[in-house]
C-alpha cells in the first residue's frame, strides 16, 4: 500500500510539471518542504470576473489515504465567494472550500472524488471556481463551478442569488483589499 501511495505522489508531481510548468503557467505552485503531500499555489483571478487582477494563495494537502481520499484545499487569501469560507471555518476534514470534487461526503458519487482524478484536474476545478456569472432564466449555476444554493459563505451565496450586482461589487472590493 505504501509503495502505491509513494508512486502515485511521484506521478502527480510529474503531471503537475507537465500541465503547469514552472515559470510558464498561470497557476504558480511549489512543493512545501520537499514533501509531495503539500502544495502551495497562487491562482490568478480571471478577466471579466470580480476577481480580475487578484492573486489568491492556496494550500493543497494530500492526506495519507490519497488517492482514495481527495486533497484538502484551503484559500489563505480572503476571497468573497459563495463556496469558499472566510476566517477559520472549515469542513470537518480541514478544507475551507466547498467543491463537490473534493468533498469527503461525495466519495464515489457523481461529481465527487474518484481515485482516478489527478492533481492538475483539481487545480483546474479550483481555478474554475473563480469563473462566476449570473444565472438567468432556466439556466442554473453548475454545481461543479459555483453553487450559491449550497454555500460555505452563506452571505455571499444569498447575495449572489438575490442581488448579483451587489455580490459582484463586494467581491471586487475584497479582491482589491486582500488579493492585490
Catalytic residues: 98
- What's the CA angle centered on 106, arms 8 and 5, to 5 degrees? 15
Cα 11 to Cα 15: distance, rounded to the nearest angstrom: 6
On whether the CB atoms of residues 19 and 8 are closer than 8 A, the answer is: no
Kindly report the number of other CB atoms within 10 A of residue 162's CB atom. Answer: 10
- What's the CA angle centered on 56, arms 66 and 132, to 5 degrees? 90
DSSP state of 61: E
Cis peptide before 108 (omega within 30 of 0): no
Nearest CA among 23, 147, 131, 152 for reference residue 86: 152
Cα 73 to Cα 152: distance, rounded to the nearest angstrom: 13
Amino acid at each position: 500500500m505504501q509503495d502505491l501511495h509513494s508512486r502515485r505522489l511521484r506521478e502527480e508531481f510529474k503531471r503537475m510539471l507537465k500541465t503547469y510548468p514552472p515559470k510558464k503557467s498561470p497557476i504558480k505552485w511549489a512543493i512545501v518542504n520537499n514533501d509531495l503531500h503539500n502544495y502551495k499555489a497562487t491562482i490568478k483571478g480571471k478577466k471579466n470576473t470580480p476577481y480580475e487582477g487578484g492573486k489568491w494563495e492556496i494550500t493543497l494537502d494530500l492526506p495519507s489515504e490519497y488517492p482514495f481520499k481527495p486533497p484538502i484545499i484551503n484559500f489563505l487569501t480572503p476571497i468573497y465567494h459563495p463556496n469558499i469560507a472566510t476566517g477559520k471555518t472549515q469542513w470537518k476534514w480541514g478544507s475551507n472550500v466547498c467543491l463537490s470534487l473534493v468533498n469527503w461526503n461525495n466519495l464515489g458519487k457523481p461529481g465527487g472524488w474518484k481515485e482516478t482524478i489527478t492533481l492538475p484536474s483539481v487545480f483546474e476545478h479550483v481555478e474554475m471556481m473563480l469563473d462566476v456569472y449570473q444565472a438567468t432564466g432556466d439556466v442554473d449555476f453548475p454545481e461543479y463551478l459555483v453553487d450559491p444554493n449550497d454555500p460555505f459563505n452563506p452571505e455571499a451565496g444569498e447575495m449572489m442569488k438575490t442581488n448579483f450586482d451587489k455580490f459582484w461589487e463586494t467581491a471586487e472590493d475584497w479582491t482589491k483589499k486582500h488579493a492585490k
